[in-house]
Structures are given as C-alpha cells and as structure tokens.
Amino acid sequence: MTDWPEDHEGPGHKILVIVAHPDDAEFMCAASVARWTSEGKEVVYALVTSGDKGTSDPSVVPSELAALREKEQQEVCRILGVKQVEFLRYEDGMVQNTLELRKDIVRLIRKHKPSAVITQNPTVRWSGHYINHPDHRNTGDATLDAVFPSARDVHMFPELALNEGLEAHIVEHVYLGARDDIADVYFDVTDTVETKIRALKAHASQMRFTPVNGTEEPSKEEREFGERLTGWLKDRGSQKGIPYAESFKYFYLG
Ligand SMILES: [Zn+2]
C-alpha cells in the first residue's frame, strides 16, 4: 500500500460516510471503505435520502422504491464490511442545506463520534458535461456545516446534550470526494477494486444490466461497466504512481 502523500496518517479508527443517495458512497469511496474495514477500522454510513425518485418508470411507487434501495444498500454494506447504515429519509431530489438537516447530521456525529467524516464536494456545480445533482451539493454543504463548527461547539444545538445525552465532538479528519486539481490525498485501493465493482452491481435497481440468456456470463454492458470503473481508478492512481487509487480533498481539524 502506498498512499499519497506518504506521510498522510489516514482517517483514524472510525469513519462516518455521509451521502445523499444509495450508491453515491460506492462511486465515491467504496474501495477505500473496503480497504479500511479489512484493516479493522469501523465504518458507518448515513444516507440523507433513500433514493425514492431513482427511476424513469412512472408506475413505480416512490416509497416502495425507497424500501428496495434501502435493502440493496444494506446488502452493499455487508459486502463492504460497513457496520451500520443510518437512513435519514429526506425526500429524494429535495435536499436543502437547512438547520433541520444540519442538526440531524450533528446528532449522528455526536452519536457515532467518528475520527473521520467523508462526504460529497459541495463546490462541484458541474464536471465535464455532467451537471452535479443538487442533493449531492446540499448534502456536502450540510455535512461540512455540521462538522465545523456545529458538532464541535457545546452551545450549538444544546438540546442534543440536554435531551439526548449527545455531547460535542471534534471530527479530526474530513474528506470530500474529489479528483484532479482539487484532490490532495490518494488512497491505494489496488486490493479492493473488485469489491467496489461488486458493491456497485449490488445496487441492482439502478444498474439494470441485460442478462445473457441461459449463461452465468456477465453481459457486454456489465463487463464494460467494470472496465470503465477500473479505468477511472487506474487513471487516478497513475497521477501519483499508485496502481489504483481513490482521491479526496482533505481537511485536518484535530
Ligand atoms: Zn446521487
């Protein structure tokens, strides 16, 4: 394992990953998560929404889709060795950086006391020809605002301490999913690339690969998906002399 920079001390013993939708964490950091759980670190997921709008089929009932996607996310967490997943159940597509959401995230931070929080980069408005989903930006914003300074400061949301016994907590390490010029930490995920691909495929309601009739063979579409993902990780790694990497923007708050 060779991370970049080599003196980066890593996320510590307990990591809380906070994202907008089921499968966001898998695209952003599943290979790192699988590596950390294999090293004995504890990882907890928090999903702001359960992805109830993630379909183009008008006959699908959003609440039923949310239930299915929560089940898929739990199976994915089993694959990755993630200990627990918290569902905040905000409405998909409607996430705003409100004080209510900030408080819900502060509650999770004070409950789990993570050494590190990983979330989505709120400054990404677009990337290439891809417009970033507003839920991604707003989840990243609400999470950063919760980490700093709300979770840390005793006089922020004092009712959490008073009524729920949840004391202020300092998150030492913060990572935003990032690449290219924005990224400043690269984790070597050479041993867990395949686990990331397996985890993403387990979001079956979103992947919809055409099956090859009568065989166990992955379809051309499914093979290409795996190759594309592997290519992304290889490309990131090649920027820092690592075979396969996931990359992040890093803040130390300890
Ligand atoms: Zn998403």
The tokens for 187 are 């984790």
Half-sphere exposure of 137 (CA within 13 A, CB side): 12
Calculate how far, in angstroms, residue 159's C-alpha sits from the geometric centre of ligand 1: 31
8 Å CB contact between 74 and 85: yes
Instruction: Give pLDDT, residue 155.
Output: 97
Calculate how far, in angstroms, residue 165's C-alpha sits from the geometric centre of ligand 1: 32
Calculate how far, in angstroms, residue 148's C-alpha sits from the geometric centre of ligand 1: 23
Domain boundary assignment for the chain = 14-252
Domain 14-252 in CATH: superfamily?
LmbE-like (3.40.50.10320)
Which of 176, 188, 141 shows the shortest CA–CA distance to 39? Answer: 188
Instruction: Give pLDDT, residue 210.
Output: 72
3-state class (DSSP) for residue 234: helix
Is the backbone peptide bond immediately before 134 cis, with ω within 30 degrees of 0? no
pLDDT along the chain (254 residues), means of 10: 93 98 98 98 98 91 96 98 97 98 98 98 95 98 98 97 97 96 97 97 86 77 94 97 98 94
186 φ/ψ angles, rounded to the nearest 5 degrees: -125, 125
The tokens for 43 are 């990882």
Residue 245 CA to residue 238 CA, distance in Å, equals: 8
Q: What is the residue type of 167? A: E
The residues near 63 (Cβ < 8 Å, ≥ 6 apart) are 52
Calculate how far, in angstroms, residue 26's C-alpha sits from the geometric centre of ligand 1: 10
